[in-house]
Amino acid sequence: MWYFAWILGVTMAVLLAALSAMMCDAKECATDEQKRKQASQ
């Protein structure tokens, strides 16, 4: 039964890493967009 916990742990780690990467990318895009708006004004 240890393999079930191991698979769940690895799956959760991969999902957390993907979510973290998407959040980081979204934050960078938002700051870039703000800089572009300020530069165009």
pLDDT of residue 36: 77
Mean per-residue pLDDT pooled into runs of 10, the chain (41 residues)? 94 97 83 77 67
Q: Report how many domains make up the chain.
A: 1
In a domain? residue 17 = yes
In a domain? residue 2 = no
pLDDT of residue 30: 72
DSSP state of 19: H
* Non-local CB neighbours of 12 within 8 Å, separated by 6+ positions: none
pLDDT of residue 26: 81
Structural domain harbouring 38: 13-41
- Residue the block writes with tokens 């742990």: 9
d(C-alpha 19, C-alpha 21), whole Å = 5
What Rg do the C-alpha atoms of the chain give, in angstroms? 18
